[in-house]
A = this chain, B = another copy of it.
Amino acid sequence: MDIVRRNTDYAARLMVHLAKHYGNGPISTRTAAAEEQVPYQLACKLMQKLNNAKLVTSCMGPKGGFVLGAEPSKISLLEVVEVIQGPISMNRCVLNEDACSRKTICTVREKLIDLQKIITKGLAAITLDELTRRGRSNRNTGKRKRIKQ
């Protein structure tokens, strides 16, 4: 099992798609899902989660869709991960303080906590704008995309 799960990967793609069109009005889930190769219905659910977490803003009705809730440089991969799959956890004794009575003396736990901090910091350092900048042609065929109107 991967630390970053498939649904999170999907959501990240959708977010990056919105980031690429940031400032051009709402993008429909249908469009984003099609372009980023995400199953449409699933994309709807993911967008709902992202919306509830205020990572995106919804605009209902025709010509509606979603807009990023903040500038691409202000949204990190960590936020997407946590919204979609929950917090990163090395072990349940790290996530849940009550899981282990030995927590005050356990040296493993300390080290797992350190590792976990490194992971979350690493993911927090990856922002959406960064992901739009380089190497972000489509996973399709590498065909250039037209600018949305």
Contact = CB atoms under 8 A, between A and B. Distances in A.
Residue of A102, A131, A140, A141 with most partner-chain B CB within 10 A: A141
A122 B131 contact: no
B143 A92 contact: yes
B1 A1 contact: yes
Interface in A60-107: 77, 85, 88-95, 99-107
Contacts of A142: 91-93, 99-103
B102 A131 contact: no
B115 A122 contact: yes
A108 B92 contact: no
Kindly report how many copies of this chain are found in the complex they form together: 2
Nearest to A112: B4
A137 interface: yes
Interface residues of A, number: 50
Contacts of A112: 4
Contacts of A102: 135-142
Closest 9 CB pairs of A and B: A105-B135, A100-B142, A99-B142, A93-B142, A4-B91, A115-B122, A2-B89, A106-B135, A3-B90
Interface of A: 1-4, 6, 9, 12, 77, 85, 88-95, 99-108, 111-112, 114-115, 118-119, 122-123, 125-126, 130-131, 133-143
Given A1-B1, A91-B142, A100-B141, 12 more contacts: A3-B88, A3-B90, A3-B91, A4-B112, A92-B143, A93-B141, A99-B143, A102-B140, A107-B131, A111-B125, A118-B119, A118-B122
